[in-house]
């Protein structure tokens, strides 16, 4: 075709057709022609523009290939600042955001929001004049960004000329440039084949691609774009709802996320969040949360801004962010209950907004299930302020000398035996009375009301005693003196005298209380009562092995193993001996080796509500003394429910099962009988 006028007409027709097909493909996700036909039109246009270079315009679809490299990016000031968003990490924070919006607007009803996916990409400003793309600027610091116009031109989903009619003379569109998952994986694969550096994640890949000084490199990268709003707009009025603004942008050829949804109130927002969290991994792009925006523009204007964020929008972040790093070692920490937690020592990695060098492996079950080994490359996940965790292993990167992780046989803190029940996930130190890691927790439990009931020995005082080195084991409680205690913070002589008197009183106790006070795993008040009644003496209980323990009513293999392991540990025996030498005693009794004998033998009781004549603990102790059994929940085996004032849900459960219900008066009469 040699006639310039005919060529010009054909070029315009081709550009219109190509722009139309771009709109159908990117904005509507509904292509009308196959890729081969699109390619044919583009090839014809390129041929004509080569023949008539004077007809080439900046907004031609052929001008996406990139221009010559720049020395550096110019800086451009945003006429309307590109503000960041405040973050919410929990449902409570979202409800608080909604409450603040309603309070500031003095609205009692539900607020209408536009909910949108929060793409993990790079924020960008696109300026159109008379419908023609003129400039692309990164967010930068919110006030000033980098001029990446040449690079933006290479992104196919960004129209170089707007479609339709009615757009403002000046229109600033704001949105996110991102790299789809599939494109990211292909890009990294090509880089690995060429022994080039790979990108850590799609966001880094998108940012790095858009900030290439050579736009021809950007043109080769699989970048995409979604519009999410507007900045500066000339006099022509836009709709007064954000959702309608997005609809207009879509009609003008800009790509809008199909997952956007109008919702009402906090619960509508949270419902959208849960839906997006469920489909997050199936999306073709990476998102790190969702965004809620007040839909009405007049309400946005009324709410205004605070610091560098709008009051009318919030980003609800997903809980997890991940990165890869190398596992250097695994150490075991001992918790206050004796549980051993494997902790990963990592090559430091930046993830979730912080540098992480340690992460939890939870327990040995998880270590074995994930097959974590020292030397492995692992995925580290960090969720807000939650402790980072090792989410999995990158098996493809496992070195030949990777070492398996083994559970230690001895506690790394006190050297006591470590026990892991068969089939159990959690391993524990058995030196509960001796282990420094468990010291504070055990002392607080030992002195608690249902144990030895040492009034005044609370959490803060226990912390002081341990920190001052006055109490290393529970036996040391009985050596405390008034001068020692009076010198502690917020004690004084009177408080010290009262505590010493409470300690003296605690020397006289009962075997069930003492057993419960020892803090043996799986041994609560009822089990302590059963063991005391069955064996009669502490010596007999300490001498019992697992087989003997399992002959006790209501004691199964798990409880038997925990009790046997506790008394098998020499450290625990030493502390018990020291406590006895300190004068702690109780009435000795002969063991029955039978279920509890007495007038209430074989009867099962459940207590609920508040009793006026005695505490529920005292009532339970009285029932057990008379041979009865006290349970924490109602079942078909329950004989009596004792209901005090303000009973809980147990009353309804008992009525449904036909259990005999006793009020306090009837219960006392039964005890008298």
Residues taking part in catalysis: 118
Residue 661 β-bridge partners: 641
Tokens coding 166:
């009615």
Closest CA to 575 of 436, 474, 425, 451: 474
| Number of CB atoms found within 10 A of residue 225's CB | 24
**Could you give the 3-state DSSP secondary structure of residue 459?**
helix
User: 213 with 67: CB under 8 angstroms?
Assistant: no
Q: List Cβ neighbours of 126 (8 Å cut-off, separation of 6 or more).
A: 133, 135, 136, 152, 158, 172, 173, 174, 175, 227
**Could you give the 3-state DSSP secondary structure of residue 296?**
strand
Phi and psi torsions of 422, nearest 5°: -60, 125
Taking CA 623 as the corner, what is the angle to CA 444 and CA 595, rounded to the nearest 5 degrees?
95
Q: CB-side exposure of 275: number of CA atoms within 13 Å? A: 13
User: 634 with 606: CB under 8 angstroms?
Assistant: yes
Closest CA to 518 of 561, 577, 468, 466: 577
Q: How far is CA 660 from the centre of its chain?
A: 45
Helix-, strand-, coil-residue percentages of the chain, each rounded to 5: 40, 20, 40
Strand order in the sheet with 604-608: 629-631, 604-608, 640-643, 660-662
First CA to last CA distance, the chain? 116
Cα(207)–Cα(211) distance, rounded to whole angstroms? 6
Strand order in the sheet with 287-294: 87-88, 313-317, 287-294, 112-119, 261-264
Count Cβ atoms within 10 A of the Cβ of residue 200 and give its class: 0-12 exposed, 13-18 middle, 19 or more buried: middle
Cα(388)–Cα(356) distance, rounded to whole angstroms? 7
Residue 126 β-bridge partners: 136, 173
Residue matched to tokens 């009076």: 486
Output the CA torsion 194→197→199→204 (10° steps).
Answer: -120
Cα(245)–Cα(229) distance, rounded to whole angstroms? 7
Give how far Cα 482 sits from Cα of 260, 452, 489, Å: 69, 20, 13
Closest CA to 302 of 114, 110, 104, 107: 104
Count Cβ atoms within 10 A of the Cβ of residue 214 and give its class: 0-12 exposed, 13-18 middle, 19 or more buried: middle
21-31 in b/e form (b: 16+ CB < 10 A) is: bbbebbbeeee
């Amino acid at each position: 075709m040699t006639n310039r006028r005919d060529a010009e007409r054909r070029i315009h027709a081709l550009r219109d057709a190509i722009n139309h097909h771009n709109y159908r493909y990117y904005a509507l996700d509904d292509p009308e022609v196959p890729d081969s036909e699109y390619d044919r039109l583009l090839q014809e246009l390129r041929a004509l523009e080569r023949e008539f270079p004077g007809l080439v315009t900046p907004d031609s679809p052929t001008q996406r290939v990139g221009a010559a490299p720049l020395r550096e990016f110019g800086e451009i000031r945003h006429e309307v600042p590109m503000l960041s968003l405040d973050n919410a990490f929990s449902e409570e924070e979202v409800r608080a955001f909604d409450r603040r919006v309603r309070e500031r607007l003095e609205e009692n009803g539900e607020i209408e929001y536009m909910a949108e996916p929060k793409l993990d990409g790079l924020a960008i400003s696109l300026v159109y004049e008379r419908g023609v793309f003129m400039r692309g600027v990164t967010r930068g610091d919110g006030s000033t960004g980098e001029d990446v116009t040449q690079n933006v031109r290479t992104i196919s989903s960004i129209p170089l000329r707007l479609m339709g009619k009615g757009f403002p003379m000046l229109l600033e569109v704001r949105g996110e440039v991102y790299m789809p998952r599939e494109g990211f994986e292909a890009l990294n694969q090509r880089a690995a084949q060429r022994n080039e550096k790979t990108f850590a994640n799609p966001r880094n890949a998108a940012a790095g691609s858009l900030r290439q000084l050579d736009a021809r490199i950007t043109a080769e990268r699989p970048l995409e774009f979604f519009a999410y709003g507007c900045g500066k707009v000339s006099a022509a009025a836009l709709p007064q709802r954000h959702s309608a603004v997005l609809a207009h942008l879509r009609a003008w050829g800009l790509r809008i996320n199909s997952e956007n949804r109008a919702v009402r109130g906090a619960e509508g927002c949270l419902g959208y969040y849960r839906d997006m969290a469920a489909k997050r991994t199936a999306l073709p792009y990476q998102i790190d949360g969702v965004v809620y925006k007040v839909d009405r523009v007049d309400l946005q204007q009324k709410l205004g801004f605070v610091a560098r964020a709008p009051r009318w929008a919030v980003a609800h972040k997903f809980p997890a962010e991940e990165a890869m790093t190398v596992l250097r070692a695994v150490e075991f920490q001992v918790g206050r209950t004796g549980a051993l937690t494997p902790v990963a020592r990592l090559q430091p990695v930046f993830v979730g907004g912080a540098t992480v060098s340690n992460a939890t492996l939870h327990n040995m079950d998880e270590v074995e299930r994930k097959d974590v080994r020292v030397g492995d490359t692992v995925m580290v996940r960090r969720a807000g302020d939650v402790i980072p965790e090792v989410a999995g292993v990158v098996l493809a990167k496992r070195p030949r000398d990777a070492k398996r992780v083994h559970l230690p046989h001895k506690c790394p803190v006190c050297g006591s035996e470590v026990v892991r029940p068969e089939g159990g996930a959690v391993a524990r130190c058995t030196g509960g009375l001796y282990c420094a890691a468990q010291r504070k927790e055990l002392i607080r439990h030992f002195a608690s009301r249902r144990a030895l009931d040492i009034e005044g020995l609370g959490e803060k005082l226990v912390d002081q005693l341990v920190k001052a080195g006055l109490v290393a084991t529970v036996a040391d409680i009985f050596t405390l003196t008034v001068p020692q205690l009076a010198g502690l913070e917020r004690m004084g002589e009177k408080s010290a005298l009262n505590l010493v008197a409470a300690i003296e009183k605690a020397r006289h106790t009962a075997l069930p209380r003492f057993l419960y006070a020892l803090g043996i795993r799986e041994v609560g008040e009822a089990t302590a009562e059963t063991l005391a009644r069955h064996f009669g003496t502490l010596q007999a209980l300490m001498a019992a092995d697992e087989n003997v323990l399992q002959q006790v009513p209501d004691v199964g293999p798990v409880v038997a193993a925990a009790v046997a392991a506790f008394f098998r540990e020499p450290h625990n025996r030493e502390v018990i001996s020291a406590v006895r030498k300190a004068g702690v005693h109780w009435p000795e009794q002969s063991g029955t080796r039978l279920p509890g004998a007495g007038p209430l033998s074989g009867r099962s009781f459940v207590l609920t509500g508040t009793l006026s004549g005695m505490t529920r603990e005292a009532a339970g102790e009285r029932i057990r003394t008379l041979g009865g059994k006290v349970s924490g929940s109602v079942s078909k085996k329950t004989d009596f429910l004792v209901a005090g004032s303000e009973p809980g849900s147990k009353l309804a459960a008992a009525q449904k099962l036909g259990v005999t219900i006793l009020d306090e008066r009837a219960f006392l009469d039964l005890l008298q009988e």
